[in-house]
C-alpha cells in the first residue's frame, strides 16, 4: 500500500513504530524496512505482540508485511498490523 506523502510536519528524521498482534502460538514471518531502506525479515514463532521502533530519515519508504496462516478457531483468529509515524497512525489493518 502506498500512501504517498504523509501529512506530518517535515523534519530530518521520524520515529516509525511497526506493530502487529498475532494469535498466541501462531508462527509468522514479519518483514519491515530499516533506517537504511533495507528490508529485514524476522521469523516470529510464538505469536502475541511484535513491535519494532526505528528512527527513519525523511524520504525513506516504509514497508511492513506480515505473512501468517491464522488458526481456524471460534471466534476466528485475527491479525492486527499498525504503522505509526511520530505516534500518528498512518496504516492500520485488522
Model confidence, pTM = 0.79
Domain positions in the chain: 13-93
What is the mean predicted confidence (pLDDT) over 80-91? 88
What is the mean predicted confidence (pLDDT) over 6-20? 85
**What string of DSSP letters covers the chain?**
----S-SS---SEEEEEEEEEE-TT--EEEEEE-TTS-EEEEEE-S-EEEEEEEEEETT----EEEEE-----SSPP--EEEEEETTEEEEEE-
Q: Is the pLDDT of residue 2 over 60?
A: no
What is the mean predicted confidence (pLDDT) over 5-19? 84
Q: What is the pLDDT of residue 1?
A: 45
The CATH superfamily label for domain 13-93 reads MmpS1-5, C-terminal soluble domain (2.60.40.2880)
Amino acid at each position: 500500500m502506498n500512501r504517498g506523502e504523509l501529512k506530518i510536519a517535515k523534519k530530518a528524521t521520524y520515529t516509525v513504530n511497526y506493530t502487529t498482534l498475532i494469535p498466541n502460538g501462531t508462527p509468522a514471518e514479519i518483514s519491515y524496512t530499516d533506517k537504511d531502506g533495507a528490508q529485514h525479515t524476522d521469523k516470529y514463532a510464538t505469536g502475541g505482540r511484535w513491535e519494532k521502533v526505528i528512527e527513519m530519515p525523511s524520504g525513506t519508504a516504509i514497508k511492513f508485511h506480515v505473512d501468517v496462516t491464522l488458526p481456524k478457531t471460534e471466534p476466528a483468529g485475527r491479525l492486527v498490523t499498525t504503522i505509526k509515524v511520530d505516534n500518528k497512525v498512518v496504516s492500520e489493518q485488522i
